[in-house]
Amino acid sequence: MKSIKVGIAGLGTVGSGTVNVLKRNAGEIARRVGQPIEIAHIGARRDNPACDITGIRVSRDVFDVANDPDVDILVELIGGTDVARELVLTAIGNGKHIVTANKALIAEHGNEIFLAAQEHGVDVAFEAAVAGGIPILKALGEGLAANHINWVAGIINGTGNYILTEMEQGARGFDEVLAEAQALGYAEADPTFDVEGVDAAHKLTILASIAFGIPLQFSKVYMEGISRITIEDVNSAAQFGYRIKHLGIAKDTGNGIELRVHPTLIPQEIMLAAVNGVMNAVMIDGDAVGPTLYYGAGAGAEPTASAVVADIIELGRELTVDHHERVPYLGFHTDQMSDEPVLTIEDISCGYYLRLHVQDKAGVLADVTRILSDNRISIEAMVQKEVDEGLVPIVILTHRVREGDMNEALKRIAALDTVDNDIMRIRVETLDA
């Protein structure tokens, strides 16, 4: 079977994450694409202990990758705008498709790069450039393509959101939190790009183009950072029912497009206000769909690699199949379906909420808890309600347990003379990732 050959330029955080995801999920990815994705060539000034590149050709000059005739797709992960621009244009000139996570490159040189790609009949994919692992460009450019987009508003810089969240939750000042963020590696030694809004403005430039069909116009974005926000402002905003978030906003007013990045008060009760720490979220309001929201990790090695590899898969699918069924109907190719068994409900496991009604007698509670314990069920919390007469309601929250064990326990509890046999049981999921 032929494979799609990928060349990766840059082996920093995102580069090593991309190598790790491509290797770990190689089997599933091949089932989705229709053929394997092979890392044919890596260009990096030095190796990175975060990933194992044994057996892969490595060059110290990234241009060797762009000029490698074996490479189908060049993945640009070196960052910056000058060398990256030259590298990408070289690869395009050599007929290679491009995947990049570089927001500055696309926001500032995208118009030129797309023109070159069009001339050479190649594709350029850059989902990872905005909001890391959230597939927001695909949602905007494809999923919501039926809509006239009214506005896009997003928390699209994780560092800034981390600082604002810490200021609010710890009642601490900007300078103190920034220093801590730098110590933790969440903020750069020179934090200007994050803190003064440049990074968010690059991303907003790209979002606005896809939303409204306007050219990339980074120079027209109004930028204001978070460095002037005080803890007093955070508290006063809360008093009015608001939280302060650093938003990128692109809005079609009907007589022009607003493009602006600045601290913004938003109502406490909307979902965007619940986005904390380094997480990102983007709200999109379309004329048909109404408001929608997309939430996830906006940075980090593997979340960003998730988007980089999704773009590689998209290009790989285009190189693999005829234009019909480019994306297989169910994501995986029909002859690559898995026969993994579907579990019966007895074999699932989760926590349980139980509500039972018992007689107000000594020993009843002991009987119930002993049956639970006999069936390997431990109790997380229990509340006995007060009633004047009749049966006493008891509500129990259990730790995670196999449903078959719970069913066995409930059968025995219901059989007790002292317990009403109509027991309410609701499953509990904490949805921890």
Choose between 417 and 432: whose C-beta lies nearer to a copy of itself.
432
Residues in 50-69 that interact with a copy of itself by CB under 8 A: none
Query: Any known ligand binding at 331?
Result: no
The answer to whether residue 406 forms part of the interface with a copy of itself (CB under 8 A) is no
The answer to whether residue 430 forms part of the interface with a copy of itself (CB under 8 A) is yes
For residues 319 and 5, give the distance between their C-alpha atoms in angstroms, rounded to a whole number.
11
Q: φ, ψ for residue 16 (rounded to 5)? A: -70, -35
For residues 408 and 413, give the distance between their C-alpha atoms in angstroms, rounded to a whole number.
9
Both structure tokens of 384: 């006995």
Cβ-based neighbours of 79, under 8 Å, separated by 6 or more = 10, 12, 102, 104
Choose between 193 and 218: whose C-beta lies nearer to a copy of itself.
218
Number of chain positions touching a copy of itself (CB under 8 A)? 147
Q: Compute the least distance from the CB of residue 176 to a copy of itself, in Å.
A: 19
Both structure tokens of 92: 């395009």
Choose between 177 and 309: whose C-beta lies nearer to a copy of itself.
309
Name which position in 256, 362, 386, 389 contacts a copy of itself (CB under 8 A).
256
Q: What is the number of residues in the chain?
A: 433
Q: Compute the least distance from the CB of residue 80 to a copy of itself, in Å.
A: 21
Choose between 217 and 359: whose C-beta lies nearer to a copy of itself.
217
Q: Compute the least distance from the CB of residue 60 to a copy of itself, in Å.
A: 27
Residue 322 gets which letter from DSSP?
-
Under 8 Å between Cβ of 193 and 200: no
The amino acid present at 383, given as its one-letter code, is: V
For residues 211 and 137, give the distance between their C-alpha atoms in angstroms, rounded to a whole number.
9
Cα dihedral value 300, 305, 308, 314, nearest 10: -140
DSSP H or E stretch at residue 58: strand 57-59
Reference 169, options 220, 108, 244; nearest CA is 244
Q: Compute the least distance from the CB of residue 380 to a copy of itself, in Å.
A: 8
Name which position in 23, 57, 172, 262 contacts a copy of itself (CB under 8 A).
262
108 in helix, strand or coil? Answer: helix
Q: Compute the least distance from the CB of residue 39 to a copy of itself, in Å.
A: 14
Q: Which of the following is catalytic: 203, 220, 361, 411?
A: 203
Choose between 12 and 59: whose C-beta lies nearer to a copy of itself.
12
The answer to whether residue 388 forms part of the interface with a copy of itself (CB under 8 A) is no
Alpha helices in 68-186 (DSSP H): 82-93, 103-120, 136-138, 158-170, 174-184
Under 8 Å between Cβ of 305 and 20: yes
Residues in 124-153 that interact with a copy of itself by CB under 8 A: 124, 127, 132-135, 138-148, 150, 153
The answer to whether residue 123 forms part of the interface with a copy of itself (CB under 8 A) is yes
- The answer to whether residue 2 is catalytic is no
Residues in 182-241 that interact with a copy of itself by CB under 8 A: 209-217, 220, 222, 228-230, 232-233, 236-237, 239-240
Q: Compute the least distance from the CB of residue 323 to a copy of itself, in Å.
A: 5
Query: Any known ligand binding at 11?
Result: yes
The answer to whether residue 427 forms part of the interface with a copy of itself (CB under 8 A) is yes
Under 8 Å between Cβ of 110 and 137: no
Q: Could you give the C-alpha distances from 10 to 27, 49, 71, 86, 141, in angstroms and in order?
A: 24, 14, 15, 14, 28
The half-sphere exposure of 383 on its side-chain side, counting CA atoms within 13 A, is 8
The half-sphere exposure of 20 on its side-chain side, counting CA atoms within 13 A, is 17
Name which position in 68, 76, 199, 314 contacts a copy of itself (CB under 8 A).
314
Radius of gyration from C-alpha coordinates of the chain: 27
The answer to whether residue 405 forms part of the interface with a copy of itself (CB under 8 A) is no
Query: Any known ligand binding at 12?
Result: yes
Q: Using the structure block, give the residue that is written with the tokens 């990175």.
A: 48
The amino acid present at 136, given as its one-letter code, is: I
Choose between 176 and 318: whose C-beta lies nearer to a copy of itself.
318
The answer to whether residue 402 forms part of the interface with a copy of itself (CB under 8 A) is no
Residue 419 gets which letter from DSSP?
B
Q: Compute the least distance from the CB of residue 96 to a copy of itself, in Å.
A: 12
The answer to whether residue 2 forms part of the interface with a copy of itself (CB under 8 A) is no
Q: Build a one-symbol-per-residue string for 339-378: x at contacts with a copy of itself by CB under 8 A, - elsewhere.
A: xxxxxxx-xx--x-x-x-----------------------
Write out the binding residues for NADPH.
103
Annotated binding-site residue numbers = 9-16, 103, 188
Q: Which residues are catalytic?
A: 203
Binding site for NADP(+), by residue number, is 9-16
Name the binding residues for L-homoserine: 188
